[in-house]
Structure 1
């Protein structure tokens, strides 16, 4: 994990506004959200695993599934997950366990982030700052 200090940290926004601005740029709400916190994820690459920029947030007035909820942005970071080897080996039609095993945890949830993508991650954060934060 590589943290990226940002002007976004500590800023509060309406959740609806963030979704409207960030989803067209390629961000999606990460699958790890809960009623009081979550993240926007931007997939950078998916070669031998996946690398993404994660922009965490927490609810400040209400729950995330409520209308007009405001959220506060945390420190963005780059994260890499490495896939488990062999999950799709010997899968047969009708194999019940194949439908379960495909959702196993990554082999390495905090894999080394590729150097060639670090500058892209920083540029993505700068782009968000330009769009979301008034100077």
Structure 2
């Protein structure tokens, strides 16, 4: 995992204002969110069985997650790499797994070693700045 230094950390925004930006840039609410915390996930790179994600964690300050008026406070974004087995599988999801699209396949490594760390730190930080650098509704 590579922790990033970005403009987003420590900032607050309403879910209804932030979600369309996330969605526009290919980020989704992580599937294992809680009512008091969660993270937005986006793919920086996918090659073979390796996927490099940019994750933006947040805490719910007030409201209920997924409600437009819910206030979120962002933590420190980070980059993480998952490695999955894209070889042939002998069960009913063989086609999905062999093409790398089996969303339910468990990663072989959830926090795999990231080579070229500086490259991914820069890409992650640039992506956050691109998405949020000029938005006035994001405040401290």
Q: TM-score range by the shorter chain?
A: 0.7 to 0.9
Provide the residue aligned with 1:124 in structure 2.
127
Q: How has the CA–CA distance of structure 1 residues 106 and 24 changed in structure 2, closer, same or farther, with 3 Å as cutoff?
A: same
| Distance in 2 (alpha carbons) for counterparts of 1:46 and 1:34 | 27
Residues 20-39 of structure 1 aligned to structure 2 (within 5 Å): 20-39=20-39
Contact 1:59–1:72 under 8 Å retained in 2: yes
Provide the residue aligned with 1:73 in structure 2.
74
| Distance in 2 (alpha carbons) for counterparts of 1:83 and 1:74 | 27
Q: Aligned residue pairs: how many?
A: 128
Please give the TM-score of this superposition, normalised by the length of structure 1: 0.80
Q: Which runs of 5+ in 2 are unaligned?
A: none
Shift of 1:54: 0.5
Q: How has the CA–CA distance of structure 1 residues 104 and 22 changed in structure 2, closer, same or farther, with 3 Å as cutoff?
A: closer
Q: Which runs of 5+ in 1 are unaligned?
A: none
Provide the residue aligned with 2:6 in structure 1.
6
Q: Which has the larger Rg? A: 1
RMSD over equivalenced CA pairs, Å: 2.4
Provide the residue aligned with 1:44 in structure 2.
44
Please give the TM-score of this superposition, normalised by the length of structure 2: 0.77
Shift of 1:7: 2.2
Provide the residue aligned with 1:17 in structure 2.
17
